[in-house]
Amino acid sequence: MSAQAIDVRPDRRKFIGGSDVAAILGVSPWKTLVQLWADKTKPPSEEPERPRKQLLRGKRWEGVVAEMLTESLRQEGMDVEVVAANRRYPDAQHPMFACEIDFELRLNGAEEITNCELKTVHPFKAKEWGDQGTDDVPVWYTAQAMWGLGITGRKSCIVAALFGADELKPYLIERDDALIAAMREKALAFWNNHVLTGIAPDPLTLTDVNMLFAKDGEAPALIADEDLTEKYLRLRAIEHEIKARQAEYALLEFDVKRIMRDCTEVVVGDKVGFVWKNRATSWLDQSALKEHDPKLVKAFTRKGTARVFTVK
């Protein structure tokens, strides 16, 4: 059964959307599972959330990408009917699942509607995408497209990617019921085991650990076992290696600059190897500001604590 669109934009903490699925599957380049859990369980804030610059850029360009996609399909001889844009759909089975489809098309008068995800891609990221017309898109976008197909009950999704400002490539993602079922199972487990219980997933990155254990605890000192002792000794050794490498780097930098003198570049082989040029810079002169307006400095001075990791 197909889901019915809703116009009300709900609190993102209360549902799992297409942009969340990659984190649940562990393939998101932007967010870990622990970070997603923190987003879903944090208390409501009166401050509006600021979207990432990439998201803002994508939203601004969505209309352009949609227009280019429609024009491209018509040039291929297709009859294209625009059905909707930016509609949100709840899942028919699980109320905590939802998706927002960027663009929806009816092609060649078919009864079946085709989902469309509109993406803007920096040219430097083009190598992450395959040939147009295939389904070779970054796995996190495949997850988002498949999530939308699962909720809407549809069979296919076009991921339209705009590279730079003028190169549009459409990719076709076909419904995979086995993959959709596996995704939904993992999403349901995440919701039931972590969001509803408030219990964080196991940390997988240093960022996760720092987020989960940002404050001191009251537990007594931990007595190191053989494994922790080995890690301690290895960290000590690495610290000494880093300091030695930094000293070596500084000595080499001194030698190169001493030889360069007034030159701004050194060509190594057929490429520029060293660059030593002036760059404009600016900074806040805190001492002058404090002397000029100490009350202003005090009004905007913030105090806090941070848990600092030190190898003794």
pLDDT-based confidence at residue 140 (cuts at 50, 70, 90): very high
Residue 5 has pLDDT above 70, yes or no: no
Q: Token digits for 15?
A: 């549902």
pTM (2 d.p.): 0.80
- Angstrom CA distances, 161 to 65, 95, 181, stand at 8, 30, 26
Question: Is the pLDDT confidence value at 8 over 70?
Answer: no
* Residue 46 pLDDT class (50, 70, 90 cuts): low
The β-bridge partners of 115 are 104, 157
Please determine, for residue 94, whether its predicted confidence score (pLDDT) is greater than 80.
Answer: yes
Gyration radius (Cα) of the chain, Å: 26
Supply the DSSP string of 88-123, one letter for each residue: EEE-SS-TTBEEEEEEEEEETT-SSEEEEEEEEE-G
Q: Name the pLDDT band for 165 (thresholds 50, 70, 90).
A: confident
Among the ranges given (21-30, 60-69, 89-98, 275-284), the one the predictor scored with the smallest mean pLDDT: 60-69
Q: Answer yes or no: is pLDDT of 6 > 70.
A: no
- Taking only the tens place, the pLDDT of each residue in 209-236 is 999 998 888 888 999 999 999 999 999 9
- Mean pLDDT throughout 77-95? 92
**How many residues are there in the chain?**
312
In three state form, how does the secondary structure of 261-289 look? CCCCEEEECCEEEEECCCCCCCCCCHHHH
Bridge-based pairing of strands 156-163 and 113-121 is: parallel
- The per-residue pLDDT for 63 is 79
Ordered domains of the chain (ranges, CATH):
12-208 (3.90.320.10), 226-299 (no CATH)
Least confident window among 32-36, 45-49, 167-171, 257-261: 45-49
Q: At what angle do helices 139-152 and 18-25 cross, to 10 degrees?
A: 120
CA distance 200 to 6: 31
Strands 98-107 and 167-174 come out as unpaired
Q: Which residue has the higher pLDDT, 40 or 60?
A: 40
Q: CA 204 → CA 19, 35, 39, 115, 199, distances in Å? A: 20, 11, 17, 33, 15
Residue 127 has pLDDT above 80, yes or no: yes
| CA–CA distance, 175 with 150 (Å, rounded to integer) | 8
Buried (b) or exposed (e) across 45-62, using 16+ Cβ within 10 A? eeeeeeeeeeeeebeebb
Nearest partner of 150 among 10, 11, 12, 16, judged by Cα: 16
Band the pLDDT of 123: cuts 50, 70, 90. Answer: confident
Mean pLDDT of 231-245: 97
Q: Over range 29-56, report the average pLDDT.
A: 77
